[in-house]
């Protein structure tokens, strides 16, 4: 990517003449001078004009005097101008001037806002021009839509981090809470690692792994439930046979058996809850006995009557020969003895015949009454049969106890639905898991190659510098992509060095990190990170440690020889980076603010002193004529 700052312009409240600061491409543009002259605010103006959500520009002196901030920059063959109205009382103003294909600021005392243009409109446009991937990052239940502004995290080596031990990206500079938790993921994405794909595959793999484990637990649980059900079922069937609900060797589907047992238990519980029902059963049994006794009486009478009829018929049949003899006696020749015998028999025949024919008739309603009694008996008997099991149980203590036990056992009999998806679906999950695992391994390997290439460029600067203490020269350098920082480890050691001493050492570590990072990004054709770096005061370790400077106006030299040589080495390292990344189609711009005197870089190829903010030179970011 070819990106560089062309100019910064400040318009003022109380003075008609704006102030411009110009910067050159493929150079280290140095702004040096005294403290509190607004050097570091140059970065804050650049950031504000590049559509920051909040302003970090110093309120005192700068914001109180400036009415508008303007930025002219070049991006991939086109020039752009952005101007924003200065914030007031810490609140961002929505007025924006926006122009394409020009590097000229608008004339007049201040820009006229472009109609119908918002900060988000400009951000959306620049996202396309920067070729930022449309990706939403996720971290700890938070979401961040990637924009070109997130990539600026890799372009600002601020004074707050340049000599710190553990912070290499100043995500707090941007006053954007959404960026605080996303530095590691932004770093990975900008490096070109397939960070989202790795994250998605990792998430999918973890989800599948948990699903497979859950299905294995489901299978074990289903088997345990099945065995428990079968054990309870066998016990219940045994009890059901004992109480007569089921017959021995009766074969039914288990569902049918359970349904029958449940029906019996339901009836038992229904009867048990109704004392009236039990009384009804007792009354039915009593009524059955009484009806049986009445029917027996009727049937006995019927039997006696029928017996009498049969006897009469038998007597009648036995007297038939005598009647015949009586009719034909005159035709017979009998002796005197026979006549006397016949006479006595005739008397006896007359008496027998008379007694036999005097049998009383049964009452006419006898048969109807007997029929009705039998019908009542059948009805009562049917009702008793319907509830025979209840009669047996309630009037048999042993059976009653067993049925109570059966009812209690049925409460615990529940055939739980199976959760296991089945072997076929389970093995499909395993196969899918293996595929995702292989894909993840390939992505991880590819990302490792990317990280190693980036670290190789960092290492090239670490190995070439001689500014750090000699005790760390032979250390192995590693990149902690979780905390986004470099770590040193002595050869053969398993432990990282927790503290590498002075701020000077950490400053060199940060320089190596940023220079190596941008050398790697410059080698990639598809990087969306601007080919630009803002470096804020590499000399901080030396001025702060010394605590003294020559106080004569304009003299910005260091007293200690060691500090001078280290600072010169830092500048040489930066110049070396420019020599490797400018030319043959490559472009890069560095803007550096410093305390040091231009004498330190006068012999370096790519360094150019743009402004010196001292009382006898350029005064400060806000010109003297404006302040006065």
- 431 has a pLDDT exceeding 60: yes
Res 628: pLDDT: 66
583 torsion bin: left (phi>0), alpha (psi -120 to 50), beta (else): left
Q: Are 29 and 592 in contact (CB under 8 A)?
A: yes
Res 552: pLDDT: 40
Res 347: pLDDT: 65
Question: What is the DSSP track for 297-323?
Answer: HHHHHHHHHHHHHHHHHHHHHHHHHHH
Least Cα distance to 73 among 593, 524, 587, 595 occurs for 587
- 540 has a pLDDT exceeding 80: yes
Query: Going edge to edge, which strands form the sheet with 96-100?
Result: 19-22, 3-12, 66-75, 78-85, 96-100
pLDDT, tens digit, 9 for 90 and up, residues 245-254? 777 777 767 7
Res 393: pLDDT: 59
How big is the CA angle at 623 (ends 619 and 628), to the nearest 5 degrees? 100
Tracing tokens 């003022």 back to the chain, one arrives at: 12
pLDDT, tens digit, 9 for 90 and up, residues 560-603? 678 889 999 999 999 999 999 998 888 999 999 998 989 999 99
pLDDT, the chain, mean: 85
pLDDT, tens digit, 9 for 90 and up, residues 39-67? 999 999 999 999 999 999 988 889 999 99
**What pLDDT band is residue 120 in, cutting at 50, 70 and 90?**
very high
pLDDT top residue among 295 and 544? 295
Q: Are 607 and 28 in contact (CB under 8 A)?
A: yes
Which contacts qualify for 300-304: CB closer than 8 Å, 24 or more apart? 301/362, 301/366, 302/362, 302/366, 302/370
Res 118: pLDDT: 95
Residue 153 is encoded by which pair of tokens?
């995290």
Res 551: pLDDT: 37
What is the arithmetic mean of pLDDT over 435-452?
Answer: 93
pLDDT, tens digit, 9 for 90 and up, residues 328-349? 555 555 566 666 666 666 666 6
Q: How many CB atoms lie within 10 A of CB 412?
A: 11
Burial of 497 (C-beta count, 10 Å sphere; 0-12/13-18/19+): middle
Distance CA 468, CA 570 (A): 10
Burial of 89 (C-beta count, 10 Å sphere; 0-12/13-18/19+): exposed
**What pLDDT band is residue 196 in, cutting at 50, 70 and 90?**
confident
Distance CA 343, CA 354 (A): 17
Res 178: pLDDT: 73
Distance CA 568, CA 602 (A): 11
What is the percentage of the chain residues whose pLDDT exceeds 90? 47
Res 337: pLDDT: 67
Least Cα distance to 25 among 3, 40, 45 occurs for 3
Res 548: pLDDT: 39
**What pLDDT band is residue 26 in, cutting at 50, 70 and 90?**
very high
pLDDT, tens digit, 9 for 90 and up, residues 485-510? 999 999 888 899 989 988 999 999 99
What is the arithmetic mean of pLDDT over 14-36?
Answer: 94
- Cα dihedral sign, 324-327-331-336: positive
* Element holding 173 (H helix, E strand): none
Name, in order, each residue with C-beta under 8 angstroms of 301's C-beta and a sequence gap of 6 or more.
362, 366
In a 13 Å sphere around the CA of 402, the CA atoms on its Cβ side amount to 22
Res 352: pLDDT: 59
- 242 has a pLDDT exceeding 90: no
Res 391: pLDDT: 61
Res 556: pLDDT: 58
Q: Are 310 and 302 in contact (CB under 8 A)?
A: no
| Residue 330: strand, helix, or coil | helix
Distance CA 156, CA 513 (A): 12
Res 183: pLDDT: 87
- 554 has a pLDDT exceeding 60: no
Res 549: pLDDT: 42
Domains of the chain: 3-192+430-627 (3.40.50.300), 275-386 (1.10.287)
């Amino acid at each position: 990517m070819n990106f560089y700052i062309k100019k910064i312009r400040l318009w003022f409240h109380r003075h008609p003449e704006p102030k411009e600061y110009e910067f050159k491409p493929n150079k280290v543009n140095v702004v040096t001078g005294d403290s509190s002259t607004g050097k570091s605010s140059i970065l804050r103006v650049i950031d504000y004009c590049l559509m920051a959500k909040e302003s970090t520009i110093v309120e005192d002196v700068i914001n109180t005097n400036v009415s508008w901030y303007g930025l002219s920059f070049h991006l991939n063959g086109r020039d752009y101008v952005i101007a924003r109205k200065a914030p007031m009382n810490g609140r961002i103003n929505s007025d924006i001037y926006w122009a394409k294909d020009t590097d000229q600021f608008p004339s007049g005392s201040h820009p006229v806002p472009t109609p119908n243009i918002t900060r988000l409109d400009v951000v959306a446009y620049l996202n396309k021009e920067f070729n930022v991937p449309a990706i939403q990052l996720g971290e700890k239940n938070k979401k961040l839509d990637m924009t070109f502004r997130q990539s600026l995290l890799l372009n600002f080596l601020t004074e707050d981090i340049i000599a710190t031990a553990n912070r290499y990206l100043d995500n707090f500079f941007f006053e954007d809470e959404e960026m605080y938790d996303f530095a590691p993921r932004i770093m990975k994405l900008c490096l070109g690692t397939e960070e989202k794909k790795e994250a998605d595959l990792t998430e999918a793999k973890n989800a599948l792994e948990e699903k497979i484990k859950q299905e294995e637990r489901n299978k074990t649980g289903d088997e345990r439930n099945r065995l428990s059900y079968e054990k309870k079922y066998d016990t219940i069937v045994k009890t059901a046979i004992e109480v007569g609900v089921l017959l021995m060797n009766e074969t039914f589907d288990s569902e049918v058996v359970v349904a029958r047992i449940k029906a019996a238990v339901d009836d038992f519980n229904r009867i048990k809850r109704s004392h009236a029902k039990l009384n009804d059963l007792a009354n039915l049994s009593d009524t059955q006995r009484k009806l049986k006794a009445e029917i027996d009486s009727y049937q006995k009478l019927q039997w006696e009557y029928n017996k009498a009829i049969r006897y009469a018929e038998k007597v009648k049949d036995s007297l038939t020969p005598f009647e015949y003899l009586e009719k034909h006696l005159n035709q017979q020749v009998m002796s005197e003895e026979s006549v006397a015998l016949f006479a006595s028999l005739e008397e006896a025949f007359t008496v027998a015949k008379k007694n036999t024919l005097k049998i009383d008739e049964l009452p006419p309603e006898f048969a109807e009454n007997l029929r009705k009694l039998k019908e009542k008996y059948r009805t009562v008997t049917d009702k008793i049969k319907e509830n025979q099991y209840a009669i047996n149980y309630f009037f048999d203590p042993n059976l009653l106890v067993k049925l109570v036990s059966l009812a209690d056992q049925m409460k615990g009999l529940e055939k739980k639905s199976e959760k296991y998806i089945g072997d076929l679906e389970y093995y499909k999950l395993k196969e899918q898991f293996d595929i995702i695992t292989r894909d993840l391994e390939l992505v991880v390997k590819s990302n490792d190659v990317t990280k190693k290439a980036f670290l190789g460029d960092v290492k090239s600067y670490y190995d070439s510098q001689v500014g750090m203490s000699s005790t760390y020269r032979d250390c192995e350098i590693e990149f902690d992509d979780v905390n986004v920082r470099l770590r040193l480890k002595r050869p053969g050691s398993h432990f990282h060095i927790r503290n590498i001493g002075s701020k000077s050492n950490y400053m060199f570590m940060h320089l190596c990190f940023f220079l190596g990072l941008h050398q790697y990004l410059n080698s990639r054709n598809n990087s969306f990170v601007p080919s630009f770096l803002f470096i804020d005061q590499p000399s901080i370790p030396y001025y702060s440690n010394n605590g003294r400077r020559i106080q004569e106006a304009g003299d910005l030299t260091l007293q200690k020889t060691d500090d001078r040589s280290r600072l010169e080495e830092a500048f040489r390292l930066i110049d070396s980076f420019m020599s490797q990344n400018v030319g043959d189609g490559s472009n890069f711009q560095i803007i550096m603010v410093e305390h040091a005197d231009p004498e330190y870089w006068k012999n370096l190829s790519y360094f150019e002193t743009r402004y010196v903010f001292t009382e006898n030179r350029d005064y400060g970011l806000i010109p003297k004529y404006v302040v006065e």
